Copies of this chain bind each other. A is one copy, B any other.
Amino acid sequence: MDNAHHPVRLSLDELRTLAIKILQAHGLASDHAEAVAATVVAGERDGCTSHGAYRLIVCARTLQQGNVIKDAVPEVTHPSPALTKVNAHGGFAQLAFSAGVSHLADKVKKFGISALALNNCVHFAALWPEVEAMAERGLVAIACTPSHAWVAPAGGTKPVFGTNPIAFGWPRPGRYPFVFDFATSATARGEIELHNRENKPIPLGWGLDKEGNPTTSAEAALAGAMQTFGGHKGSALAMMIELLGGPLIGDMTSLESIQVDAGRKSSPIGGELIIAIDPEGFLGLSAAAHIARAEKVFDAITRQGARLPSERRYKARARSLSEGVELPCRLYAELIALSHKEE
């Protein structure tokens, strides 16, 4: 056995320390570094490897390329009593969310419903950390964001939408919240890129070539257009997310975002909308009884052997919290090298 190929086991604290070191070595201000590290560690902890430690390489590249403001100070404004806006001023979305989350939580308790817009931020992460943070406070939350125009509308052939994810969180007493987070594209762009690297065909329904024909070539789909999930319904949903996370909050559409990117292939820059509702806002003291009633729906799903979204993620989390995480040796070595760079 070759020891050099053994995976390396790290505690979550060790991974956090390493992540912060890498990010700071690339010039990221310490408050940003802590917020980004928390998200990356959460991804690795939950077994989302593409949004885990691997993302530190992507973040380091983004920082080197100068596509993110390293010491941006998020600016919080209150455009309406129940709305909050955070201008990230070109920094990572994580610190902008940290700056806005307490306002969102306060306003939803006060008014029953509230929304938080993050503007001008660099996105590289999933949306579930945001909705899970709200659900952990007993609140219901929906989050969405446009990205780069890669996805054709149903019945069309040319990219208009981003992969436009939507996430939802619902509190479950005594358990991890019900959380889902999915792209409205048929699959992740990274999945098609992976097929392309490995020279593997993609299933029909994932993408169209430049002429608008269905294709099983990953390369042709990357040059052409991705497709939405679920036909015209998924396409309608992608449009909703485009509008809510774009023009509604005064931020870029996916078409505008990819124009600004101008071929640099950086992380999308733009907006994100998070809506939160307080069950007690509608139901007062009886909220707990109705939240308990929702458990019967979850039971009816799991009892028949169907899986809830996030179930796999929570299982990985339980394991990681007790045993730490394992990084492939090569990834670990790359991260160590990055942590010494520019020091």
A interface residues with partner B (beta carbon < 8 Å) = 79-83, 85, 110-115, 117, 140, 142, 152-158, 160, 168, 170, 178, 180, 182, 184, 229-234, 236-237, 239-240, 242-244, 246-250, 253, 255, 275, 277-279, 281-284, 286, 290-291, 293-294, 296-297, 300-301, 304-307, 309
Contact = CB atoms under 8 A, between A and B. Distances in A.
A87 to B, nearest CB: 12
B239 A156 contact: no
Given A158-B300, A160-B300, A233 B229 contact: yes
Contact of A156 (B114, B281, B304): B304
Contact of A80 (B240, B275, B278, B309): B278
A156 B305 contact: yes
Contacts of A244: 140, 277
Contacts of A294: 243, 246-247, 253
Nearest to A240: B168
B79 A284 contact: yes
> Number of copies of this chain in the oligomer?
2
Given A79-B282, A305-B155, A115 B113 contact: yes
A82 B82 contact: yes
Contacts of A297: 160, 239, 242-243, 246-247, 253, 255
Given A230-B230, A296-B253, A305-B155, A117 B282 contact: yes
A282 B250 contact: yes
A131 B83 CA distance: 21
Majority secondary structure of chain A interface residues (helix, strand, loop or mixed): mixed
Given A230-B234, A255-B296, 13 more contacts: A79-B282, A80-B282, A81-B110, A82-B114, A83-B112, A117-B282, A140-B248, A155-B307, A182-B236, A184-B233, A230-B233, A243-B294, A275-B277
Contacts of A142: 240
Contact of A306 (B81, B155, B286, B291): B155
Q: Which 3 pairs from chain A and chain B are nearest by CB?
A: A230-B230, A80-B112, A156-B306
A281 B114 CA distance: 11
26 contacts: A79-B112, A79-B281, A80-B112, A80-B113, A80-B282, A81-B110, A82-B281, A83-B112, A111-B111, A117-B282, A140-B243, A140-B248, A152-B304, A155-B306, A156-B304, A160-B297, A160-B301, A170-B240, A182-B232, A182-B233, A184-B233, A230-B233, A247-B290, A247-B291, A250-B282, A253-B297
